[in-house]
Amino acid sequence: MRDVSYCLTARNLKKSYKKNFTLDIPELAIPRGFATALIGENGAGKSTLLNFLSGVREDYSGEMEFFGKYSDKDRDKADCPVRELIGYTGPGYYYMPSWTIEGVGDISEMLFEKFHKDRFHDLVRSMRIDPMIPGQSPKVSTLSDGNRMKLEIAGVLARDTDLLLMDEPASPLDPLARDELCSEIQKYINEGNGERSVFFSTHNISDMESVTDYAIIMDEGHIVEEGWVEDLKEKYVVVRGEADAAASIRPYLFTENAGEYGFEGVIRADKADALAGFDVKLERPTLSQIAVAVMKHEREKAV
């Protein structure tokens, strides 16, 4: 068992909406010093949860604790360092559309004590957001969705923080930018001497699996699976076989995708012994395969 502390915990976090949706999280714990992925379909409640954790919205019930000593009630106090220690990125216009790139740096420098404008400029250049030409700083409204997200990422990485909360940071990025995002996340954590953590949401974990240490899978406002990635890969197994074998082993399968010539499914590892004697192939799953299987299983349960 890992000896781990937590940068953020939440208990009995709940919010109900009129459209028959309830976010209900009895317990949440984000490991300190690691990258944690929040995985779920669109509409699973990921953005709602991140909005509550970041303080963007406060219309919830429940309680939170940051860095083992500050409550969500402390967060708004003038002498509480939580807002300085946490960076947030989100979709859409997080920065005002009328702001220029240079203006984002100026305003961030006023808002946050430990914002480094020189680091911000270096990140803007290295991330190829837009050339910083003297006297020509483009407005946020003229940037593509991908460059607006990269600008947010540059803004939080230019600060001295201990936790990044990132809502779908990879979604608007091209494949190269996603790879660079993973590198920046890993660099951020490595330079923190075990104190820095990242909690990011995604509906497609395949491009971010390399940087993910811990995974939390959400469905319909609830956490339905979580664990260290390596432990989850021991908990589930991918099964492949000929089509005529599918009917015999179907009762043991967690999920199944069947075709004319064969099938692929996922089984809990503790059920794998039941497949002895069948002509099937067992493989180690990817995190993406596990996430899809868990979400599919939850959907099938609801039918």
Residue 172 has pLDDT above 60, yes or no: yes
What's the number of domains the chain is made of? 2
1 found inside a domain: no
Residue 252 binned pLDDT confidence (cut-offs 50, 70, 90): confident
Decide if 50 contacts 168 (C-beta within 8 A). no
Residue 204 binned pLDDT confidence (cut-offs 50, 70, 90): confident
Q: Give the pLDDT of residue 197.
A: 98
The average pLDDT across 258-282 equals 88
pLDDT in tens, 22-69: 999 999 999 999 999 999 998 899 999 999 999 999 999 999 999 999
Q: 166 with 241, same domain?
A: no
Q: 243 with 158, same domain?
A: no
Q: 48 with 10, same domain?
A: yes
Decide if 59 contacts 15 (C-beta within 8 A). yes
225 found inside a domain: no
Which domain covers residue 146, as residue numbers?
Answer: 6-220
Query: What's the rounded Cα separation, in Å, for the pair 64 and 73?
Result: 8
Q: 79 with 142, same domain?
A: yes
Q: Give the pLDDT of residue 131.
A: 59
Q: Give the pLDDT of residue 181.
A: 95
3-state secondary structure of 296: helix
Q: 156 with 14, same domain?
A: yes
Task: Give percent of the chain above pLDDT 70.
Answer: 97
Q: 243 with 193, same domain?
A: no
165 found inside a domain: yes
Looking up residue 153, the CATH number of its domain turns out to be 3.40.50.300
3-state secondary structure of 174: coil
Query: What's the rounded Cα separation, in Å, for the pair 274 and 56?
Result: 49
Taking each helix axis as running N to C, give the angle between helix 101-111 and helix 145-157, from 0 to 180 degrees, rounded to the nearest 10. 30
Q: 27 with 66, same domain?
A: yes
Q: Give the pLDDT of residue 299.
A: 84
Query: Considering the chain, what is the average pLDDT of its residues?
Result: 91
Query: What's the rounded Cα separation, in Å, for the pair 57 and 259?
Result: 45
Residue 134 binned pLDDT confidence (cut-offs 50, 70, 90): low
Q: 160 with 133, same domain?
A: yes
Residue 298 has pLDDT above 60, yes or no: yes
Residue 175 binned pLDDT confidence (cut-offs 50, 70, 90): very high
Q: 24 with 78, same domain?
A: yes
Q: 168 with 280, same domain?
A: no
Residue 133 binned pLDDT confidence (cut-offs 50, 70, 90): low
Q: Give the pLDDT of residue 119.
A: 96
Q: 45 with 150, same domain?
A: yes
Q: 188 with 265, same domain?
A: no
